[in-house]
Amino acid sequence: MGRITLDKVAKSFGEVNVIPPLDLTIEDGEFVVFVGPSGCGKSTLLRLIAGLEDVSGGQIRIDKVDATHTPPAKRGLAMVFQSYALYPHMSVRKNIAFPMKMANVPQAEQDKRIDYAAKVLNLSDYLDRRPGQLSGGQRQRVAIGRAIVREPAAFLFDEPLSNLDAALRVNMRLEISELHNNLKTTMIYVTHDQVEAMTMADKIVVLQAGVIEQVGSPLELYQTPRNLFVAGFIGSPKMNFFKGADAAGHDAATIGVRPEHLTVSTTEGLWKGTVGVAEHLGSDTFLYVHPETADTVEDTITVRVDGEMALRHGDTVWLTPQDGKTHRFDGAGLRIG
């Protein structure tokens, strides 16, 4: 079981309020991702849940039990650190066994769980090596293995993939998702990468300056971002924002249109512009269009078009938002409708 409830949890370092009082419930078996720009307090929040930091106020409940002042070891949570935090002087086997040794798990049971973890994580051939002899991805797996064998109420991941190269990151992302499907244990995952958030999460918690901006499933966040921050943060490439007359036409202070929701024509449309850079990815093409008329927030409008579309630098294009795909925001940046 792993239902975690945060009740008015707050954290300040001296004078600085890192996290103002905040409520959040994480259901058992959920894969929750905390996402936000660096310094938004997402790691601090994770460490509060882990018990590695003292809360300044509020209550943390794990499975209905007040764990606010329980030491980390007693909370039944396992954590995977950004630096992996493997014990360099121990073999892989000993690293994985360490939490069980601390909990006085019988040797036979230890061996069983290590074998299981090693099989799941493809580590069987490396059990006698030291962490220093492993690649980044293997170390990552050992860190996860060390978490698995504890059979924790929840897994905590603190930006676990940020030290891996791009290709490996995609692989590990899949493996962690798969692991979650198999174990069905609660997982809390911190990242600054919204792609990781979108691809892995059951529920995304978007944080900015210690405040929860929105909680919801990836699609909810994509389709109905609650405010300008979430709208700009979720989705890649970023949403285009328009203000002034363009927005006023929709009874809003700002309107937003995602790059994939703009129709491109070489003959007619709402906004006329010139293609600046065209990035051809094969499957898609991203166009960065310099508008002539549109009242944009950024200098360019990003458009995502089919990969086969043969548009080049200097071409003149017309852009039109697709029906019903325009997001409207009021003067305070909150979503209208």
Partner 1 sequence: MATQHSRAAARLMNAPAVFVLLVWMLIPLCMTIYFSFMDYRPLRGVADCCVGFENYERFVTSSSFLSSVGTTLLMVGGILAITVIGGVLLALLLDQPIWGQGIVRILVIAPFFVMPTVSALVWKNMFMNPVNGLFAYLWKFFGATPIDWLSELPLFSIIWIVSWQWLPFATLILLTAVQSLSSEQLEAAEMDGASALSRFYYIILPHLGRAITVVILIQTIFLLSIFAEIFVTTNGAFGTRTLTYLVYQRVLESQNIGLGSAGGILAVILANIVAIFLMRIVGKNLDN
Partner 2 sequence: MARAVTTQRKIVATAAAWIIGLAIFFPILWTVLTSFKTEAQAIADPPVWFGFDWTLENYSVVQERSNYFRFLMNSVIIAVGSTVLGLLIAIPSAWSMAFVPGKRTKDVLMWMLSTKMLPAVGVLFPIVLIARFLDLYDTHILLIVVLMLMNLPIIIWMLYTYFKEIPVDILEAARMDGASLRSEIIYVLTPMALPGIASTMLLNIILAWNEAFWTLNLTTTKAAPLTAFIASYSSPEGLFYAKLSAASTMAIAPILIMGWFSQKQLVRGLTFGAVK
Positive or negative: CA dihedral 226, 228, 230, 231: positive
Whichever of 103 and 219 has its CB closer to partner 2, that residue is 103
Interacting partner of 54 out of partner 1, partner 2, none (Cβ under 5 to 8 A depending on kind): partner 1
Amino acid at 124: S
Is residue 85 close enough to count as binding partner 1 by CB under 8 A? no
Is residue 89 close enough to count as binding partner 2 by CB under 8 A? yes
Cross-sheet strand order for the sheet of 262-265:
262-265, 316-321, 271-280, 284-291, 301-306
Is residue 52 close enough to count as binding partner 2 by CB under 8 A? yes
- The distance in angstroms from the start CA to the end CA of the chain is 38
Q: Where are the alpha helices (DSSP H) in the chain?
A: 42-50, 92-102, 107-120, 136-148, 166-183, 194-200, 218-223, 228-233, 244-248
Is residue 49 close enough to count as binding partner 2 by CB under 8 A? no
Footprint on residues 39-68 left by partner 1 (CB under 8 A): 47, 52-54
Interacting partner of 81 out of partner 2, partner 1, none (Cβ under 5 to 8 A depending on kind): partner 2
Backbone angles phi, psi at 53, to 5 degrees: -125, 150
Is residue 331 close enough to count as binding partner 2 by CB under 8 A? no
Whichever of 69 and 119 has its CB closer to partner 1, that residue is 69
> How wide is the angle at C-alpha 243 spanned by C-alphas 241 and 247, nearest 5°?
100
Helices 166-183 and 136-148 pack at an angle, to 10 degrees, of: 20
Between CA 293 and CA 290 the distance in angstroms is 9
CB of 46 vs partner 2, minimal distance in Å:
11
Q: Which residue in the set 1, 73, 174, 277 belongs to the binding site for partner 2 (CB under 8 A)?
A: 73
Is residue 93 close enough to count as binding partner 2 by CB under 8 A? no
Footprint on residues 98-137 left by partner 2 (CB under 8 A): 98-99, 101-103
CB of 285 vs partner 1, minimal distance in Å:
36
Q: Which residue in the set 13, 27, 87, 128 belongs to the binding site for partner 2 (CB under 8 A)?
A: 87
Q: Which residue in the set 15, 38, 71, 282 belongs to the binding site for partner 2 (CB under 8 A)?
A: 71
The size of the chain, in residues, is 337
289 sits in which H/E element: strand 284-291
Whichever of 47 and 226 has its CB closer to partner 2, that residue is 47
206 sits in which H/E element: strand 203-208
Is residue 128 close enough to count as binding partner 1 by CB under 8 A? no
Footprint on residues 179-208 left by partner 2 (CB under 8 A): none
Amino acid at 259: P
Backbone angles phi, psi at 246, to 5 degrees: -60, -40
Compute the half-sphere exposure of residue 58: CA atoms within 13 Å on the CB side of its CA.
22
Helices 136-148 and 92-102 pack at an angle, to 10 degrees, of: 20
Is residue 82 close enough to count as binding partner 2 by CB under 8 A? yes
Interacting partner of 57 out of partner 2, partner 1, none (Cβ under 5 to 8 A depending on kind): none
Q: Which residue in the set 19, 79, 117, 239 belongs to the binding site for partner 2 (CB under 8 A)?
A: 79
CB of 309 vs partner 2, minimal distance in Å:
44
Whichever of 160 and 321 has its CB closer to partner 2, that residue is 160
Q: Which residue in the set 3, 10, 59, 85 belongs to the binding site for partner 2 (CB under 8 A)?
A: 85
Whichever of 38 and 182 has its CB closer to partner 1, that residue is 38
Q: Which residue in the set 26, 62, 77, 206 belongs to the binding site for partner 2 (CB under 8 A)?
A: 77
Burial of 114 (0-12, 13-18, 19+ CB in 10 A): buried
For 81, the token pair is 């650190």
Which residue carries 């959920």 as its tokens? 30
Tell me which residues touch partner 2 (CB under 8 A): 50, 52, 71-74, 77-79, 81-83, 85-90, 98-99, 101-103, 146, 150
Tell me which residues touch partner 1 (CB under 8 A): 47, 52-54
